[in-house]
């Protein structure tokens, strides 16, 4: 982990999941997300202690385990408050909801892992509790009520609203809960005017325009592939297999639920846009073009 100063009061810890830091005064800071697990939390606390700061609070952009994994150890050791938004509060306080939601039932033991199941932490609503100098804004699409944070230094923390070129080129698919809202968020990001943008899993950058287009084009590409696959009637499982084969991806339990949920979201979007329809035959749900 590397601490980088990007404004008078704004820092971030460069990491697999970038962690924001905002100084509310000379001694106290708020974190923006907390990393993926207990070890990440320990490393964050070490950096905080080395700079003679105290953690007054954590702002969770959303409740995925790689963003709230350090919450519990940091809250236990500092008694800090944790601010989260709407549905994200429920998932943060009851982390079993994430693998349960992804799987569509009680998650079997291979899904009850640190990548999908964080430790619980106590939250407060971000509404009216955000410290002076910070603003939050909606970034729906990737997850239910995901938010971004703007600091007084005009630095934007963008959570998982954008995925890196490297991730897109390697995996092609990235998790989306609501395709329509994800595309709306990309349009929203196009109108921002910040000094610096820090997506959670990308390099900090002064210009996100090309990254927005790369994300948008990949979503449209996948949408078209799913539509084309449904020229003939197919079950969800057949569509999922075909997409994995198309992109030379390897299935495992985590990928099955993450990408499976994402494919279902694409199917829902295409259905709502009157591109696809479905029917039941011989007790199978079959998707097909309208």
Give how many domains the chain has, as a whole number.
2
- DSSP 8-state assignment for residue 161: S
Identify the CA nearest to 196 among candidates 187, 188, 207, 186.
207
Query: Which range marks the domain in which residue 164 is found?
Result: 2-217
Pairwise CA distance, residues 193 & 207, whole Å: 9
Q: Are 116 and 64 in contact (CB under 8 A)?
A: no
Runs of H (alpha helix) within the chain: 38-50, 65-68, 71-78, 87-93, 97-103, 165-171, 179-190, 209-229, 236-246, 253-272
Q: What is the pLDDT of residues 128-178, one digit of tens each?
A: 999 999 999 999 999 999 999 999 999 999 999 999 999 999 999 999 999
- DSSP 8-state assignment for residue 234: B
Q: Say how many residues make up the chain.
A: 290
Q: What is the pLDDT of residues 5-57, one digit of tens each?
A: 999 999 999 999 999 999 999 999 999 999 999 999 999 999 999 999 999 99
Residue 280 binned pLDDT confidence (cut-offs 50, 70, 90) = very high
191: which 2 tokens?
Answer: 């109108």
pTM of this structure: 0.97
Q: Which of 217, 242, 260 is the last residue of a domain?
A: 217
Instruction: Assess whether 177 and 117 both reside in one domain.
Output: yes
Instruction: Assess whether 39 and 57 both reside in one domain.
Output: yes
- Measured at the CA of 205, the angle between CA 217 and CA 21, to 5 degrees, comes to 120
Pairwise CA distance, residues 255 & 251, whole Å: 6
User: 172: domain CATH number?
Assistant: 3.60.15.10
Instruction: Assess whether 112 and 179 both reside in one domain.
Output: yes
Instruction: Assess whether 94 and 123 both reside in one domain.
Output: yes
Coil, strand or helix at 129: coil
Identify the CA nearest to 108 among candidates 256, 240, 267.
256
Within 10 A of 125 (CB to CB), how many other CB atoms are there?
12
User: 282: domain CATH number?
Assistant: 1.10.10.10
Q: What is the pLDDT of residues 180-228, one digit of tens each?
A: 999 999 999 999 999 999 999 999 999 999 999 999 999 999 999 999 9
47: which 2 tokens?
Answer: 């950096």
């Amino acid at each position: 982990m590397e601490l980088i100063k990007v404004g008078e009061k704004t820092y971030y810890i460069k990491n697999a999941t970038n962690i924001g830091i905002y100084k509310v005064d000379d001694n106290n800071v708020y974190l923006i997300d907390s990393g993926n697990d207990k070890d990440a939390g320990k490393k964050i606390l070490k950096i905080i202690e080395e700079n003679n700061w105290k953690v007054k609070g954590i702002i969770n952009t959303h409740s995925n385990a790689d963003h709230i994994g350090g919450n519990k150890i940091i809250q236990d050791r500092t008694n800090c408050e944790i601010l989260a938004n709407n549905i994200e509060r429920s998932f943060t306080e009851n982390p079993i909801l994430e693998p349960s939601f992804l799987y569509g039932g009680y998650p079997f033991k291979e899904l009850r892992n640190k990548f999908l199941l964080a430790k619980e932490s106590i939250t407060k609503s971000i509404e009216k509790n955000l410290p002076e100098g910070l603003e939050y804004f909606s970034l729906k699409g990737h997850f239910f009520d995901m938010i971004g944070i703007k600091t007084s230094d005009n630095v934007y923390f963008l959570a998982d609203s954008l995925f890196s070129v490297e991730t897109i080129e390697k995996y092609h698919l990235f998790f989306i809960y609501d395709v329509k809202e994800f595309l709306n968020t990309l349009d929203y990001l196009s109108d921002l005017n910040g000094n610096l943008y820090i997506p959670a899993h990308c390099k900090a950058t002064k210009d996100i325009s090309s990254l927005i287009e790369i994300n948008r084009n990949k979503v449209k590409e996948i949408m078209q592939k799913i539509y084309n696959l449904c020229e003939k009637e197919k079950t969800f499982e057949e569509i999922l297999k075909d997409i994995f084969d198309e992109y030379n991806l390897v299935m495992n339990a985590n990928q099955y639920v993450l990408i499976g949920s994402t494919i279902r979201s694409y199917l829902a979007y295409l259905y709502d846009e009157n591109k696809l329809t479905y029917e039941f035959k011989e007790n199978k749900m079959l998707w097909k073009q309208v």
